[in-house]
Every structure is written in structure tokens, then in C-alpha cells.
């Protein structure tokens, strides 16, 4: 009588699930993969349709642990369950459900894509709740770049999200490590311009923090050129992206040029500066302040070291809108002084420190400090006589000049040897055949 009472207490849902579980067991033992897949889908769909969300979670965990469960049936069931996520009644149900799916998919190669998607959903949920540390911990061990079954765009989006979370956590070293998962050559493919721009905007945040001026300039150049060359795609991209990064063409070009100028003098920097007037001729004509800065650094004459005289101190990288603006102002003045030092080194063999300071327009101590830095970085070849306060410049010679001088010296030596041999022979002949 008690057994009959228990049977009568069962709901229609429980009875139907039990019948399906019996059929599932038979199909699994008979290795009927098609039937197994169909029955698993019926079970989870029934639980979802009847809004038995707790039972659904338990059934997914139960069915995934059945011995001999076909992989194809498991894949079909999990993929169907993934479609239920956004229909959960509450956020708590949703979080619990996603966590259960993640646990089921973990360490199963055939469910690696679903596992990554569950991780991403949990990360977004934690991010919305400002639990950045927890979100970063979830993402840390997901190696999505190794997933062969995930398409390229989804992989890129996942890696970019990893970078975003690391930047929010202010873990700049891990941001760089994650960025190296992306081959920058593959970002030139059509249709992923928005992801390319997002990637370089994240790199800009990293390089700004690390004061990598040249790398920052190159990132701004890539973003500017991408927007310029893909006008149709650019219209679909929001003007403001993550971290309030503004995709304004004028601002992007300004930052590219100014970060390029702030970098330490080198041939690569000068090559890019020289190409600006031909590559962005119209843009520079519309922005005379930027054009003036470019021409000043390309000139072979002394220029003003007053930063305000160039009319660019109101721009973003100097006005406090980005990190380390004070350092940017100091570095701009330093580059102006070092430019003048290189010009003086070109025209002088010897000059007093006081006269050099007068020509540059700054205090003698600052002149000496920047001169020493330029010598240490091998930007200038010179020696300072501190007793007489005099600087002696040694003009650097290229390889061709050195080889030509060496060849000339060798010729002179050979001529002397030849002339000496002739004199010895003539003296010898005179002794043998005297007049």
C-alpha cells in the first residue's frame, strides 16, 4: 500500500522523466547513438518547457556522468541547454545554471567551445557586479587560442575580453602576455576591422602606462589608417569604445605625431617623420600646429625649446586627459633641447658650455645634463673638458668614409715601399757597376 501511495504522489513530470531515463538507459546500453541524442534532448527540453529549472540543472549533471554516454549525444544536449541560458527566471538561477554547464564541460575536449562560452558569460556577470578579481581568475586558465573548433572572430573576441579584464584589474604584464596570443598579421583580414581597432586601443593603454612612445605612436597610426581606408566599416563602429577611447580622426593623428616626436631620436623615428608630409599632406595642411612641430624636428637648424610656442600643449597627451601628462611635457622639452644639441654638433668642432646654453636658450646645468644623456645614448659623439667648460665634438664617420681612408693609407704605404725598393736597387746597381 505504501509503494502504491508513493507512486500516486509522483507528479506527471517526474513520471515522464523516469520513463525517458529508462529509454535513455536502453539506448545507451545498445549503443544507439541516434536514439540517445534524441532522448537526451527530449529530457532537457521537457524540464525547460515545464519551468523545472532546478530539476533541469540536476538532470544535466546526472546525464553527463552516465557511463558510456555517447559524445555526440552529450554535444547535442549541451548545445541545446546553452540556448536556455537567457530564459532563466532570475539572475541567481542563471548564474547557477551557467556554473553547472561549465562544470559539466570542463576537461572535455569535445565541449571546449561551450566551456569557453560559459566562462565568458560568468566573467561578464562578475564584471557587471564589479568583481574584477574573480572575473580575471576565471579567464586566466582558458586557452581559447588552442581551440580548433572555434571560428577566428570568436577567438579574437575572447582574447580581447581577456585583455579588457586584465586592464581593468591593472595587471599590465598579463595584458601584454595575453596580447601576444594574437598574431597582428592576421588582423588585416576583411570583416574584423572593429576587433583590430579594439586590440590596438587596448595596446595603447598598456604602452601609455609603460611610456613606450614609439609603440604607442604605431598603434595610433594603425587605428587611424584602418578608419581612413575602411570608411564603410568605420561608420558601423561606435565613436567611443571601451575605457572611453575616442575614435576621432583629428585626435588620432595628433596623438600619432606627438608620441612619435616624444620618442628618443633614432633613424626609424626620423623616417616616419619624413614620410608624414607626403602620407598625410592634406591633414597636416589643415592642422598648422602639427605641421610646425613636424617641420621643426626635421629641420637642420636651431629651434625654440619653449613647448608652448608650438600651440600643442592643449592637446590630450599634455592636458591631463591621459596618464603621465607631466612626463609628456618634460619629455617634449627634452627632445627639443636634444634636437638643438645635434644641430650644434653638426656645425661645431669645439664650443663652450656657456655659449652652447646661450644658443639653445636654457640654463647651463640643464644643457650639460641633456648633453651627457645624449652622449650616453650615443646620439652625439663628444667629450667635455670640465676645467675649461668646453665641449669637443667628434664627428661620426660612416663605413664608406672609414674604408676610403683605410684604402688611401694602404696605397701610401705601398707607394713608400715601392719607392724604397727602387732606391735600394739603384744603390745596389751603383756599387756593382761603378762609373
Contact of 342 with 374, CB cutoff 8 Å? yes
Digits of tens for pLDDT over the chain (435 positions)?
Answer: 333 334 445 688 888 988 999 998 988 888 888 898 999 999 999 999 988 888 999 999 999 888 888 899 999 999 999 999 988 888 888 889 999 999 999 888 889 899 999 999 999 988 888 889 988 888 887 888 777 778 888 899 999 999 999 999 999 999 999 999 998 888 888 888 899 999 999 999 999 999 999 999 999 999 999 998 887 777 778 888 888 888 889 999 999 999 999 999 999 999 999 999 889 989 999 999 999 999 999 999 999 999 899 998 888 888 877 888 899 999 999 999 999 999 999 899 899 999 999 999 899 999 999 999 999 988 888 998 888 889 998 766 667 777 877 888 888 898 898 888 888 888 777 776 665
- Locate 29 and state its grid cell: 546500453
Compute the Cα dihedral for 352, 357, 360, 365 and give only its sign: positive
Task: Determine whether domain 350-412 maps to CATH 1.10.10.10.
Answer: yes
Neighbouring CB atoms inside 10 A of 197's CB total: 23
User: Does the global pTM surpass 0.75?
Assistant: yes
Q: Are 317 and 258 in contact (CB under 8 A)?
A: yes
Residues in contact with 272: Cβ distance below 8 Å, sequence separation at least 6, in sequence order: 217, 260
Task: Give the pLDDT confidence of 116-167 residue by residue, as tens digits.
Answer: 999 999 999 888 888 899 888 888 878 887 777 788 888 999 999 999 999 9
Q: Which residues of 295-325 are buried (b: 16+ CB within 10 A; e: fewer)?
A: ebbeeeeebebebeebebbebbbbeeebeee
Residue by residue, DSSP assigns 373-424 as: HHHHTTSS-EEEETTTTEEEE-----HHHHHHHHHHHHHHHHHHHHHHHHHH
Nearest to 253 by CA among 284, 293, 288, 292: 284
Cβ atoms < 10 Å from Cβ of 429: 10
d(CA 233, CA 12): 54
Contact 247, 240 (CB under 8 A): yes
CB 343, CB 324: distance < 8 Å: no
User: In the structure grid, which three cell numbers stand for residue 203, read together?
Assistant: 595596446
Domains of the chain, by residue range, sit at 9-105, 190-347, 350-412
Q: pLDDT tens for residues 357-392?
A: 999 989 999 999 999 999 998 888 899 888 888 999
Closest C-alpha to 313, from 329, 327, 324, 297: 329
Q: Which helix (H) or strand (E) holds 336?
A: helix 325-347
Distance (Å, rounded) from C-alpha 237 to C-alpha 250? 17
Amino acid at each position: 500500500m505504501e509503494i502504491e501511495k508513493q507512486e500516486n504522489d509522483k507528479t506527471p513530470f517526474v513520471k515522464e522523466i523516469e520513463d525517458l531515463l529508462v529509454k535513455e538507459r536502453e539506448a545507451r546500453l545498445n549503443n544507439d547513438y541516434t536514439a540517445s541524442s534524441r532522448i537526451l534532448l527530449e529530457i532537457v527540453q521537457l524540464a525547460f518547457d515545464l519551468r523545472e529549472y532546478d530539476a533541469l540543472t540536476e538532470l544535466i549533471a546526472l546525464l553527463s556522468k552516465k557511463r558510456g554516454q555517447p559524445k555526440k549525444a552529450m554535444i547535442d544536449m549541451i548545445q541545446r541547454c546553452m540556448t536556455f541560458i537567457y530564459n532563466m527566471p532570475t539572475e541567481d538561477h542563471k548564474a547557477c545554471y551557467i556554473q553547472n554547464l561549465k562544470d559539466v564541460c570542463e576537461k572535455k575536449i569535445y565541449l571546449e567551445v561551450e566551456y569557453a562560452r560559459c566562462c565568458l558569460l560568468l566573467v561578464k556577470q562578475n564584471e557587471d557586479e564589479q568583481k574584477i578579481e574573480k572575473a580575471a581568475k576565471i579567464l586566466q586558465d582558458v586557452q581559447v587560442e588552442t581551440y580548433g573548433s572555434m571560428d577566428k572572430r570568436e577567438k579574437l573576441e575572447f582574447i580581447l575580453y581577456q585583455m579588457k579584464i586584465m586592464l581593468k584589474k591593472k595587471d599590465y604584464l598579463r595584458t601584454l602576455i595575453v596580447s601576444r596570443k594574437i598574431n597582428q598579421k592576421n588582423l588585416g583580414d576583411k570583416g574584423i576591422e572593429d576587433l583590430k581597432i579594439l586590440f590596438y586601443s587596448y595596446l595603447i593603454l598598456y604602452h601609455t602606462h609603460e611610456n613606450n612612445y614609439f609603440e604607442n605612436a604605431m598603434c595610433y597610426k594603425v587605428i587611424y589608417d584602418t578608419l581612413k581606408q575602411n570608411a564603410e566599416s568605420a561608420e558601423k563602429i561606435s565613436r567611443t569604445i571601451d575605457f572611453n577611447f575616442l575614435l576621432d580622426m583629428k585626435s588620432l593623428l595628433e596623438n600619432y605625431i606627438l608620441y612619435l616626436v616624444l620618442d628618443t631620436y633614432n633613424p626609424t623615428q626620423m623616417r616616419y617623420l619624413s614620410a608624414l608630409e607626403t602620407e598625410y599632406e592634406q591633414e597636416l595642411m589643415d592642422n598648422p600646429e602639427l605641421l610646425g612641430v613636424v617641420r621643426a624636428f626635421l629641420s637642420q637648424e636651431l629651434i625654440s625649446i619653449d613647448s608652448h610656442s608650438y600651440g600643442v600643449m592643449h592637446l590630450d597627451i599634455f592636458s591631463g586627459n591621459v596618464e603621465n601628462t607631466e612626463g609628456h611635457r618634460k619629455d617634449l622639452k627634452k627632445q627639443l633641447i636634444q634636437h638643438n644639441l645635434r644641430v650644434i654638433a653638426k656645425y661645431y668642432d669645439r664650443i663652450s658650455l656657456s655659449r652652447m646654453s646661450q644658443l639653445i636658450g636654457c640654463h647651463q646645468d640643464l644643457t650639460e645634463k641633456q648633453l651627457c644623456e645624449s652622449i650616453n645614448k650615443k646620439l652625439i659623439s663628444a667629450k667635455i673638458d670640465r676645467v675649461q667648460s668646453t665641449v669637443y665634438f667628434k664627428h661620426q664617420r660612416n663605413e664608406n668614409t672609414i674604408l676610403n681612408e683605410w684604402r688611401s693609407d694602404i696605397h701610401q704605404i705601398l707607394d713608400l715601399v715601392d719607392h724604397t725598393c727602387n732606391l735600394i736597387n739603384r744603390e745596389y746597381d751603383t756599387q756593382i757597376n761603378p762609373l
